[in-house]
Structure 1
Amino acid sequence: MAEGEDTGTILKPLVFRTDETTPKVVQSVLLERGWNEFDRKEHNVEGWNLYWKTSSFRMIEHTNVKPWQRLNHHPGTTKLTRKDRLAKYLMYMKRVYGTSIYEFVPLTFIMPGDYNKFVAEYSKEKQMLGTKQSYWICKPAELSRGRGIIIFSDIKDLIFDDTDIVQKYICNPLLVGKYKCDLRVYVCVTGFKPLTIYIYQEGLVRFATEKFDLSNLQNNYAHLTNSSINTSGTSYEKIKEVIGHGCKWTLSRFFSYLRSFDVDHVLLWQKISHMVILTMLAFAPSVPCATNCFELFGFDILIDDNFKPWLLEVNYSPALSLGCKADVTVKRKVIHDIVELIHLNGPRNEGKEGGNAFPGLSNVSFAKSDKGRLSNVCSSLPYGSLLQFTSRAFKKDESTKGKAARICPKNTRTSQLREMISKQNLLLMAKEPPKVKSKLKSRHSPHKISLSYVSLFPSYTCKTSISSSFLSDNSKEPDPQAGNFVLIFPFNEATYGASRNGLNVKRIVQELQKQMNKQHSRVGGNKTKR
């Protein structure tokens, strides 16, 4: 409440808008935070602050967005999550900037156009391998949840329809208790112009529910990690070696498992962060300019037994259903932290008469957790040289001392929804899966790397600063951290400059190459010491 402002001013809850596709967890979290759901009978047509839905927005909706509003999609981002289009973007980047920096992409062919190229590669590999088998995977370009996927060794078994992609199958995945897994890594892009990328330090690990077996390529429960497939299998409810019950872990539990075998999980996380940035760089120049929007992506990443991460796909509107305790733990916090990240976490200020005017975001009060975002980011996070951007200063107005802000709780429907959702969430808090002591064997055993480890997940601080000439007076610098979301791009002054006025992809790739070279030098140095 500003000094001299009428004490009759009422602080009203922020308002979220949904449609039939909006995930229930989004509604649940926002109600918990004291938001109200948009109701055409009670609110002005423009009287909402956040519109969240699964499908994309029309360009006119982006054009007409108001300063106090946020949309949960950027325009045109569905292209990134079509498997064939993603493959085209990454193939182009490979040709321009070299295979070495885009080595996280499996060899890919887009059908039917690349069929002859695939046949030539298949024949060449068959000749080289002799009696050994060659493994490939075919995926429909537009389908999700593992639908229509086939894995084959003999080209006679290849069946494709319309637009599919065929990729080299990673036949040496890192196995946990003999089960295949992949990582669901959450990434939030708060802007494409300039490009601003945050990675979430918690996530999900999804397991196949039957033991990995290359002699039976038709067993989806052994080769596919999609939860929609494995929850329907007979082994889902069984206690599985190392994994325990179900088919999901949290990412922090997975990294804890790796640390128990002296695996350099920090280096692995750095590689994943590079992969995310390079993938977004391939796509960013084609995104139309739009303001007041953000995007949550789900990156699916497979780790092989050499601890090399491979990009499988990027998901638009990643699933936010709460099917198990790991889902509840991770996904609810993701939504909470997104609200912190986009600076919509307090009541809005209105006059006594309840006018329709919304204040600028500077008038929004921030929760205590925002103060944690103002701390510097530790060097153990994806980049040791991560740029420590100067943080915004949120000043507490002295005039508010001793004055009680009055909240206007008149939406009874909203209150009923809050109560109902809270009860549903309690039912989902399943029992923690039993921890089984594990042993990694043969080629699936992690290589021991004698480095000092720091957990990725607690908050740390380090002292770094940027020159006063780096930011102009009217710059709106990104926050280094919000909850578990950590800024990974831009990561130094050079990349900040290369993304401010147009995207200088070549310069950014050069800076990333420097970072990767430093990583290789560090790993090489530690091996020499051993």
Structure 2
Amino acid sequence: MSKCKTSGYKADCSKSEEREGRCCVRYKCGQLNIINILRQRPGWVEVKEKGEWDFNWCEARDNLDHSYMEEHVRINHFRNHYELTRKNLMVKNLKRHRKNLERDVGHMEASKCDFFPCTFALPNEYHLFVEEFKRSPGSTWIMKPVAKSGGKGIFLFRKLKDIMDWKKDGTRSEEQKDAAQVESYVAQRYIENPYLINGRKFDLRVYVLVTAYVPLKAWLYRDGIGRFSSTRFSMSSIDDKYVHLTNVAVQKTAPDYDPEQGFKWQMQQLRRYLTAKHGRQTIESLFKEIDNIFVHSLQSVQKVMINDKHCFELYGYDILLDQCLKPWLIEVNASPSLTPSNQEDYEMKFRLMEDTLNVVDMEGRLTGKEKRVGGFDLMWNDGPVYNEDFNPETFGSSCFTANTYLGCVNDRENQLRRILKPFPGQKRM
């Protein structure tokens, strides 16, 4: 085994690769959609199951918590990422963060955290939930398992008797709970007035990359997806999952699902539509409020997250708009699906994954001072990041100051040519 001249990693490089000075990065990955991207990365070498690796893209990292990692090694999850990505813990941390802001800064700053629906963890907060439920009889609530994805186990309800089982479980003794563990859920006030396009409900899937928590360093991707329900929205029936759940895993089982259409809009298309309908200033304010969600949600877990220089995290944020164009944080995903539904979706997710690798920079091609890498814009670096070179003629804005461009032009290929050194042995395009 030799040491790569460009990276310094120990790697099984061939003699020809050593002569050309190519960077050799050994990677492990068990996800088909991602491994196909890694296999196209120049100089990256796939290792067998028990082989040594430099980069690991895994579903969960539980079996890696006590492993020794060399300086250069990178892994795609922080040790306790669930503090933000498990529904009950996310709300718990957001509530604490809002309370701390109220105490330390004041009500105005704390009000910036009013972007998540009223939520209770069950069975532990069952009695608090009942008190709130009785204050607004007839309202609709949504029940979600705290650690499941893809719409599994979710249902809407309006009557307390629909969840009486959780009341019984909540009054069990500790011994009984140990004997028959109750699955944890959250009960969340359902947003009954979602913003509709063509009569259909949708949410936004947005991608945020965190490369450190101490200090906090976060990047926002320009592209994203608007995910639509396949059935026109109505509150007359709360049992139709195709009306109320926009998860792709749910919608693709609908009888009229079209895999080519996929019931998705690219973020640029969605932003153009909203701007044409409501005006530039209104939509710029909306997207600034969405930026606020990213920053405060990350700050809410910054002190509890186990920071590790070996770790990074690509989060998938799910944001819902209501009729008043108020954005609501629904959940944050630790392993956002990169499975495409059509060619356009595939190309977007391929670019997203490539740019994630460019920011993580296993090859050492960046200076560390970049505000943009491909489609990622640095929005927070131990404080807010502002763009000094904003061009309103290019992006159509005169007052957008934060370094975020969700739904704006993503001229990533030209940008990458300007900032990245070619891969070792590769001519610049």
Do these two structures clear the TM 0.5 threshold for a shared fold by scoring above it? yes
Matched, 1:120 2:120: no
Higher radius of gyration, 1 or 2: 1
C-alpha contact 1:23 1:320 (8 A) present in aligned 2: no
Whether the aligned pair in 1 keeps the contact of 2:221 and 2:377 (CA below 8 Å) is no
Matched, 1:165 2:159: no
Q: Give the drift of 1:453.
A: 8.6
Indicate how the Cα distance of structure 1 residues 317 and 389 shifts in structure 2: closer, same or farther if over 3 A, else same. Answer: farther
> 1:149 maps to which residue?
154
- Determine which of 71, 93, 99 is the counterpart of 1:95: 99
Offset at residue 389 of structure 1 (A)? 9.6
Partner of 1:80: 84
Q: What's the counterpart of residue 409 of structure 1?
A: none
Partner Cα distance (1:459, 1:231) in 2: 28
| Equivalence map 1:73-472=2 (5 Å) | 73-98=77-102, 100-126=111-137, 133-158=138-163, 160=166, 162-237=183-258, 245-263=261-279, 264-345=282-363, 361=364, 365=365, 373=373, 386-387=385-386, 456-458=407-409
- 2:69 paired with 1:65: yes
Match of 1:25 in 2: 33
Amino acid at match of 2:157: F
Distance apart, 1:371 and its partner CA: 10
Residue pair 1:204, 1:326 contacting (<8 A) in 2 also: no
Contact 1:322 1:328 in 2 (8 A): yes
Distance 1:234 1:212 in 2: 16
**How far 1:17 sits from its partner (Å)?**
2.0
Is the 1:378–1:459 contact (alpha carbons within 8 Å) kept by the matching residues of 2? Answer: no
- How far, CA to CA, are the matches of 1:236 and 1:376 in structure 2? 31
Contact 2:221 2:376 in 1 (8 A): no
8 Å CA contact retained: 1:204, 1:330? no
Cα distance in 1 for residues equivalent to 2:60 and 2:378:
36
Classify 1:378/1:317 alpha carbon distance in 2 versus 1 (closer, same or farther; 3 Å).
Answer: closer
**In the alignment, residue 191 of structure 2 is paired with which amino acid?**
I
- Contact conserved, 1:193 with 1:289, CA < 8 A, in 2? yes
Aligned amino acid, residue 281 of structure 1: Q
Q: Cα 1:459–1:216, aligned 2, differ >3 Å: closer, same or farther?
A: closer
* Structure 2: tracts of 5 or more residues without a match: 7-16, 103-109, 167-181, 390-396, 418-429
| Number of aligned residues | 358
> What residue in structure 2 maps to residue 508 of structure 1?
none
1:135-170: CA deviations, max 9, x gaps?
A: 111111111111111111222223646311111100
2:13 corresponds to 1:14: no
Q: Tell me the secondary structure at the aligned position of residue 137 of structure 1.
A: strand
Letter in 2 for 1:227: V
When normalised by structure 2's length, the TM-score is 0.75
Q: Is the 8 A contact 2:208 2:315 kept in 1?
A: yes
Runs of 5+ consecutive residues of structure 1 not aligned to the other structure: 127-132, 239-243, 346-360, 391-450, 461-480, 484-530
Code of the residue aligned with 1:108 in structure 2: it is T
How many Å apart are 1:196 and its aligned residue? 0.6
> Residues 74, 8 of structure 1: CA spacing in aligned structure 2 closer, same or farther, 3 A cutoff?
closer
> What letter matches 2:154 in structure 1?
I
CA distance in 2, matches of 1:326, 1:166: 35
Q: CA deviation at 1:377?
A: 7.3
Cα displacement string for residues 245-290 of structure 1 (whole angstroms, at most 9, x for unaligned residues): 3221211111121122134332222111111111111111112231
Over residues 461-501 of structure 1, what are the superposed CA-to-partner deviations in whole Å (9 max), with x where a residue is unaligned?
Answer: xxxxxxxxxxxxxxxxxxxx989xxxxxxxxxxxxxxxxxx
User: Would the aligned equivalents of 2:119 and 2:186 in 1 still touch at CA under 8 Å?
Assistant: yes
Change (3 A) 1:245 1:304: same
Deviations, residues 49-93 of structure 1 (Å, cap 9, x unaligned): 3211111252223xx222332111121112321111112111212
Alpha-carbon shift at residue 374 of structure 1 (Å)? 10
Shift of 1:18: 2.1
Q: Residues 109 and 377 of structure 1: is their aligned pair in 2 closer, same or farther, counting only changes over 3 Å?
A: closer
Report deviation, 1:13.
4.5
Deviations 1:349-401 (A, max 9, x none): xxxxxxxxxxxx4xxx569xx8974999799x9xxx734699xxxxxxxxxxx
The alignment-based identity, stated in percent, is 27
Amino acid at match of 2:353: I
Which amino acid letter does the alignment assign opposite residue 193 of structure 2? N
CA contact (8 A) 2:98 2:113 kept: yes
Indicate the structure with greater strand content: 2
How far the C-alpha of 1:10 sits from its partner, in A, is 3.3
Correspondent of 2:46 among 29, 38, 56: 38
Opposite residue 32 of structure 1, the aligned amino acid is: Q
Q: Of the two structures, which has the highest relative contact order with CA contacts closer than 8 Å and spacing of 6 or more? A: 1
Kept in 2, the 8 Å contact 1:112–1:163? The answer is: yes
Q: Tell me, what secondary structure is at the counterpart of 1:202?
A: strand
Root mean square deviation, CA, Å: 3.5
Q: Which amino acid aligns with 2:326?
A: K
Pair 117,332 (structure 1): closer, same or farther in 2 beyond 3 Å: same
Q: Which residue of 2 aligns with 1:54?
A: 59
Give the residue type in structure 2 aligned to 1:386: V
Match of 1:412 in 2: none
